[in-house]
A = this chain, B = another copy of it.
Amino acid sequence: MHIFREIGPMKAYLKRERSNLSTVGLVPTMGALHAGHMSLLHASKKENAITVCSIYVNPTQFNNLADLEKYPRTLDKDIQMLVATECDAVFCPDNSMMYPAVSQLKFDFGALDKILEGEFRPGHYSGVALVVSKLFNLVQPNRAYFGQKDFQQFRVISRLVEELKFDLSLVCAPIVREVDGLAMSSRNMRLNAAERKRAVILYQSLKQTRDRLLQGESFSQLRKTVATQCNLNNVKLEYLALADRENLTQLDNITDPSRAILLIAAQVGDVRLIDNLFLTENSN
Contacts and interface: CB of A to CB of B under 8 A. Distances in A.
A259 interface: no
Interface stretch (A99-107, A222-230, A274-282): A99-107
A101 B165 CA distance: 12
Interface residues of A, number: 27
Contacts of A160: 105
A106 B164 CA distance: 11
A110 interface: yes
A175 B195 CA distance: 65
A112 B111 CA distance: 25
A107 B106 contact: yes
Interface string A75-119: 000000000000000000000000011011111111110000000
A29 B147 CA distance: 39
Interface string A164-199: 111100000000000000000000000000000000
Interface string A136-173: 01101000000000000000000110111111000000
A160 B111 CA distance: 23
Contacts of A271: none
A100 B161 CA distance: 13
B167 A105 contact: no
A165 B110 contact: no
A219 B161 CA distance: 45
A16 interface: no
A133 interface: yes
B167 A137 contact: yes
Contacts of A109: 104-105
A34 interface: no
A170 to B, nearest CB: 14
A159 B112 contact: no
A130 interface: yes
A134 interface: yes
A138 B165 contact: yes
B103 A163 contact: yes
A137 B112 contact: no
A165 to B, nearest CB: 4
- Top 9 nearest A-B pairs by Cβ distance? A104-B110, A106-B108, A105-B163, A133-B164, A137-B165, A134-B165, A137-B166, A138-B165, A137-B167
Interface of A: 11, 100-101, 103-112, 130, 133-134, 137-138, 140, 159-160, 162-167
Given A106-B108, A106-B110, 6 more contacts: A101-B162, A105-B107, A105-B110, A133-B163, A137-B165, A138-B165
